Amino acid sequence: METIKLKNVITERDHTFGAPDAPRTLLEYGNFECIHCGGAYPIIKEVQKRLADNLRFVFRHFPTVRTHPHSLRAAEASEASGAQGKFWEMHDQLFMHQQALEDHDLSRYARRIGLDGEKFAYDMAQNTFLEQIKIDYDRSLFDEHVTGTPTFYINDVRYNGATDVESLLLAIKQADPERPIVLPEKSGLRGVLRRLHRGANK
């Protein structure tokens, strides 16, 4: 199978969660209205919880308005929240309430996570972040050839495997044999990964 490498490297402008020097990076091109991204959301949360400081998670927008009409406004809302230091709080609200992404819903989430309501409303009304989202979308489409969501990269290599906790954990663990990850003792995860690794090598 052909190895597809990430062309647009991760920069300070990206939304990242986790230690910058973590031995593994999981990057998602996602869409807040996509049901498959919604299904992946709790799985990624569990993977983050289990790997702790061993994983850095990066989220990039890929709003497909033709099939997900609310996805672009939701992306704008997350960026407006990010401008106030609360991207991840809005990210979580949007994925937990995918069926309610109208503008009045977005304003409600902004209040819920404690944003400056006037600044949020202004940024949404002025489409402050729309142009940058569109630029990033084009780079994703033409440079990375992303066509749907979610699209994942592990340590800058496209991941095409199953999106379940065990499959993701195994792929993340095997991504860089020279930089082993140290799992928390009490998670009981080491034995699970060892069994998965043995099974994969049969």
What pTM was computed for the model? 0.89
Residues 120 and 128: their CA atoms lie apart, in Å, by: 10
**pLDDT of 18 above 50:** yes
Q: Are 74 and 32 in contact (CB under 8 A)?
A: yes
Largest CA distance in the chain: 59
Q: How many CA atoms lie within 13 A of 33 on its CB side?
A: 20
Class of 15-200 per CATH? alpha beta
Give CB contacts under 8 A, 24+ apart, made by 170-179. Answer: 170/196, 170/197, 170/200, 172/24, 172/26, 172/47, 172/51, 172/55, 173/24, 173/197, 174/200, 175/24, 176/23, 176/24, 179/23, 179/24
- The per-residue pLDDT for 181 is 82
pLDDT, one tens digit per residue, over 21-63 is 999 999 999 999 999 999 999 999 999 999 999 999 999 999 9
pLDDT, one tens digit per residue, over 138-188 is 999 999 999 999 999 999 999 999 999 999 999 999 998 888 887 655 544
- The per-residue pLDDT for 182 is 72
- The per-residue pLDDT for 180 is 82
Q: What angle do CA 33, 105, 100 make, to 5 degrees?
A: 40
- The per-residue pLDDT for 196 is 57
**pLDDT of 191 above 90:** no
Position 135 confidence tier, pLDDT thresholds 50, 70, 90 = very high
pLDDT, one tens digit per residue, over 77-133 is 999 999 999 999 999 999 999 999 999 999 999 999 999 999 999 999 999 999 999
Q: Mean pLDDT throughout 61-68?
A: 96
Provide the token pair at 73.
């406004």
Residues 21 and 53: their CA atoms lie apart, in Å, by: 9
